Structure 1
């Protein structure tokens, strides 16, 4: 067997992820992705009131925060055929949009940028030259020599104290870092600025949802009554604050995030040929531009569809309810289906059954992944038997290719101008670099769309429409004895679906297929790898197996969130605890 490079845990992500790379000299010949946490939320939900599900599933993750809660209420609304008021849809759009921008900026600066930015190198930068660089790419006001000098002193204090803190344990000095010291100093300065910025933009969730993380939701609308003259409702002061927050997001994205991404990418153009992966992409579609019904997919900001084999000229239609379209496989997972390990189940029929070993404990432990058997707590979702990638790159490719999409022109202009600036072909989109750039460019699109949703909300209120909830449509007396529905959305990390089956007013089955399950899942019964595994095996060479920064670059370009896999452990023994819910 070829040597394996093991990275466990992958850091600067949400949750626990193990990557094993099988080497052929300096090249990665094959890769294996293992989610090392147990999923259990779906089992906990069985037998509960479906109107309460959002409060449970929202705790799947603390970073994804509102998206699971919103997917859950959408699933119940779909099952019970509840149409929410336009204002509720607009408020939800604004909350999702804020999540996108907050999440993408945090990912770029605090999770992914350190794969490209050498923090220690910033100590040798010339603050005056850094100021000149920053002003050449943006009009952002914090760009004076004195400002960058102060940031440099802060970094120096970290290093001199021997406590790098948030910058500890990096591969500083690795030859894969290519930025000059001045670019490194600029990026670190913006890293620190983004910490304060994210605290402010999170307030939008608190305005409409009462708190952040995990804002409140309700089946039938939003728990945000609008009354311009009431201190206990969404009044004129709070709406003005929302406008200020939208402008704050727009300015940081346009003047800091986008210019930084392009500036950094210009030194790493070779990564436009690495980490391609599958060439298959899936987008559920989301965000009604006019605040209308989710049933009208033609109104979505992000269109629904699939792209196979990098063919942008042929967008495949997607049906998220049809039995044969989406299936989850567990042939290489630590689960078992009643129908057998090679079966594929649509989420409506999905099972979350743990495999137990002879000692009665939940598997693993293991010393090394047995990739011929199960090797992950994640399942392997497939669309029409295809392994697909979901996320910002999938969305931007759909926008770029779908001429009927309402944001097509803006997406095409952003993508083409970015490629032209970098001197890269369209094929560079299918790469680690393309995946990172797509996340940045869609932030610009979402920030602009947020202003439109806000303007529509204000216009509705001025016209006398303040309704944010569909009263009495969700009372159990009106429910069918049996119902099922899908809560579909595009979360920042990609296609997210919650499928619910309701019987006698209680949850009979519940399955969440999350973006990182699509991307991080293991091989299927045919041996086809998931998106992480395929991307790592595409033109990836390691300079130093003991410092595998190349693996981190590609994995972080997906923005993993493995916390959707939940486990409980004994703090004294570290053993898994079995919880029985009666």
Structure 2
């Protein structure tokens, strides 16, 4: 829903427009802009969230063994990512290592989640902004050109023109839209085979899994994966054809959603050979992941070290509805390697809500805090983004060049993805190449490639799991005890990007717990240094290509940009009841004494 008001300005005439709520995922995200229609530019953008939920508040005092079950309820979309990350943090705190087969099972479940979530978001939510009906309403001249533009990969996906691709994504009627819904059911089944229930897993535990491994289990997964391959092999070239057309047909469109290349990835898919979860080994087992952790600044991969990534995390305020915690207790002063831990690190955060009226003109305006990464080289607090998850994962993995398992190979400037022969198509290789820009189109393009990446590497995980079954190594759980005092941190990739859980145990209970998913990294407001969050930064300064004028402006380029990050607000803000106030107490006349 968009609203508009005139805003006086000395240099130019600005129109204030708001989209609140941003729909399709969750209705608590608002985007407030000031637009110069004369110069076709978004001059200012602020990202707001209107709800607070507070898991970091009510996790205190809980049994740490319940942490993954509780935190999976943070979100109804990426709950399994939270459960997995919580288990990683608990494994570190308890000092345990999962049996290899358990790791392969978790990897297969998470691969299915990436396939499921990226597919349904890309094809049933993002592509509504690129479908025939939407383009007709916002850029009719572009649609006319699309009608006469041949699709370069028509021989693979079967769509003769670019307009045919757009029609395929029309909601409820487009064939790709409908097929994506069917594929979401298929990939959900794959997930449930490994993790028991979607989206709140019932078979994941610290120390392993409750999934019973058998040839039938992995065969059932494989049958569904083979069916999914035919879909993926059409999806990637169809995405490329459409996105390349936008670049060609609208010169300058690469500027839409473009921001400085500041990408973070915390890594995904543990390698059982290295994953002992010891903090002092975290650099090694982090680099052994099948998606490499790392941070890219201005195109340069500056670290792949999870210890360095952990030490650089800072939670800033500035425009959020919270009291500062600088006078609160420090839970962790040094990590297990002796490195000092900053007061603004998640291990030391104390969440103190301060509800107030939203002030978009120089005051506080969001329930989302402002995570930043401290770059020791420059002293800057970097507003990293996740590129919607897929862009950062592929970019870091490509530059690191550490992954090579046959089905996927990182080359130093690209990622090669090999998909085996399937029912409708021969073996195919796709190559995702590091792009020039971190922008709207490339965030969306990477998502299709990562669906292919997850499908390809799932074959490798299946091979490893079946090898354990053939050898009779069916161990999937390691016994453990909860220590009286410990700390732990888990690093993983939610579908939308970076995910970490930081845990402090005292007297056998949770003393502090902070989950940091991709949402606060991407949706953060301006921090205490005045740095805008990634949504704000990507929209602010955006060049407008929509043909509509101010009176019937839909803001399609703004919506495409925000949605390219895969926005979802439940992970960024959480429930809080406070002390409460009794307003009225009633007694039922039907409940008498002794009843």
Decide: shared fold, TM above 0.5.
Answer: yes
Shift of 1:315: 2.6
Q: Secondary structure at the match of 1:73?
A: helix
Contact 2:414 2:433 in 1 (8 A): no
Contact 2:151 2:241 in 1 (8 A): no
Deviation per CA, 1:185-221: give whole Å up to 9, x if none.
Answer: 2332100111122112101222222222211221111
Give TM-score scaled by structure 2 length: 0.78
Q: Per the alignment, do residues 78 and 438 of structure 1 end up closer, same or farther by CA in structure 2, a change over 3 Å counting?
A: same
Contact 1:278 1:389 in 2 (8 A): no
Query: What is the match of residue 331 of structure 1?
Result: 318
1:263 pairs with 2:241: yes
Contact 1:14 1:563 in 2 (8 A): yes
Contact 1:429 1:435 in 2 (8 A): no
Contact 1:72 1:498 in 2 (8 A): yes
Contact 1:347 1:499 in 2 (8 A): yes
Q: Secondary structure at the match of 1:564?
A: coil
Q: Secondary structure at the match of 1:500?
A: strand
Q: Per the alignment, do residues 13 and 291 of structure 1 end up closer, same or farther by CA in structure 2, a change over 3 Å counting?
A: farther
Q: 2: CA distance between counterparts of 1:36 and 1:242?
A: 40
Query: What is the match of residue 512 of structure 1?
Result: 515
Query: What is the match of residue 458 of structure 1?
Result: 466
Q: Per the alignment, do residues 144 and 388 of structure 1 end up closer, same or farther by CA in structure 2, a change over 3 Å counting?
A: closer
Q: 2: CA distance between counterparts of 1:180 and 1:404?
A: 37
Deviation per CA, 1:278-311: give whole Å up to 9, x if none.
Answer: 3211111221356641541232122122111x23
Shift of 1:403: 2.8
Q: 1: CA distance between counterparts of 2:325 and 2:101?
A: 44
Q: 2:36 aligns with which of 24, 30, 46?
A: 24
1:383-398 to structure 2, matched below 5 A, reads 383-384=373-374, 385-390=381-386, 391-398=389-396
Structure with greater strand share of residues: 2
Q: 1: CA distance between counterparts of 2:522 and 2:122?
A: 19
Shift of 1:251: 2.5
Shift of 1:321: 7.3
Q: Secondary structure at the match of 2:32?
A: strand
Q: 2: CA distance between counterparts of 1:458 and 1:396?
A: 27
Query: What is the match of residue 143 of structure 2?
Result: none
1:73-84 to structure 2, matched below 5 A, reads 73-84=87-98
Q: 2: CA distance between counterparts of 1:462 and 1:425?
A: 38
Q: Per the alignment, do residues 318 and 410 of structure 1 end up closer, same or farther by CA in structure 2, a change over 3 Å counting?
A: closer
Q: Secondary structure at the match of 2:302?
A: coil
5+ long unaligned stretches in structure 2 = 1-8, 141-145, 329-341, 375-380, 418-431, 582-595
Shift of 1:35: 1.8
Q: 2:175 aligns with which of 189, 202, 217?
A: 189
1:71 pairs with 2:79: no
Q: 2: CA distance between counterparts of 1:563 and 1:57?
A: 12
Q: 1:564 aligns with which of 546, 571, 575?
A: 571
Q: Per the alignment, do residues 96 and 410 of structure 1 end up closer, same or farther by CA in structure 2, a change over 3 Å counting?
A: farther
Q: 1: CA distance between counterparts of 2:124 and 2:360?
A: 33
Q: 1: CA distance between counterparts of 2:412 and 2:290?
A: 11
Q: 2:291 aligns with which of 302, 305, 319?
A: 302
Q: 2:199 aligns with which of 209, 213, 220?
A: 213
Shift of 1:566: 4.9
1:524 pairs with 2:527: yes
Q: Per the alignment, do residues 311 and 74 of structure 1 end up closer, same or farther by CA in structure 2, a change over 3 Å counting?
A: same
Q: 1:551 aligns with which of 550, 555, 558?
A: 558
Count of residue pairs the alignment pairs up: 500
Query: What is the match of residue 229 of structure 1?
Result: none
Shift of 1:182: 2.3
Q: Which has the higher contact order (CA 8 A, sep 6+)?
A: 1
Q: Secondary structure at the match of 1:287?
A: coil
Query: What is the match of residue 449 of structure 1?
Result: 457
5+ long unaligned stretches in structure 1 = 146-178, 227-234, 356-361, 416-423, 569-575
Q: 2: CA distance between counterparts of 1:465 and 1:323?
A: 34
Query: What is the match of residue 165 of structure 1?
Result: none
Q: Per the alignment, do residues 139 and 24 of structure 1 end up closer, same or farther by CA in structure 2, a change over 3 Å counting?
A: closer
1:280-299 to structure 2, matched below 5 A, reads 280-289=262-271, 292-293=274-275, 295=282, 296-299=285-288
Query: What is the match of residue 351 of structure 1?
Result: 350
Query: What is the match of residue 168 of structure 1?
Result: none
Q: 1: CA distance between counterparts of 2:134 and 2:437?
A: 30
Compare 63-72 and 245-254 and name the one that shifted more: 245-254
Q: 2:226 aligns with which of 243, 247, 251?
A: 247
Give TM-score scaled by structure 1 length: 0.79
Q: 2: CA distance between counterparts of 1:523 and 1:61?
A: 24
Q: 1: CA distance between counterparts of 2:168 and 2:344?
A: 49
Deviation per CA, 1:240-259: give whole Å up to 9, x if none.
Answer: 1111122233322122x212
Q: Per the alignment, do residues 251 and 462 of structure 1 end up closer, same or farther by CA in structure 2, a change over 3 Å counting?
A: same
Q: 2: CA distance between counterparts of 1:133 and 1:94?
A: 38
Aligned alpha-carbon RMSD (Å): 3.1
1:335-414 to structure 2, matched below 5 A, reads 335-339=322-326, 345-355=344-354, 362-364=355-357, 366=358, 369-384=359-374, 385-390=381-386, 391-406=389-404, 407-409=409-411, 412=414
Shift of 1:271: 3.2
Q: 1: CA distance between counterparts of 2:504 and 2:41?
A: 46
Q: 1: CA distance between counterparts of 2:309 and 2:71?
A: 24
Structure with greater helix share of residues: 1
Shift of 1:398: 1.1
Shift of 1:79: 1.2
Q: Secondary structure at the match of 2:132?
A: coil
Compare 181-190 and 99-108 and name the one that shifted more: 181-190
Q: Per the alignment, do residues 435 and 344 of structure 1 end up closer, same or farther by CA in structure 2, a change over 3 Å counting?
A: farther
Q: Secondary structure at the match of 1:547?
A: coil
Q: Secondary structure at the match of 1:448?
A: helix
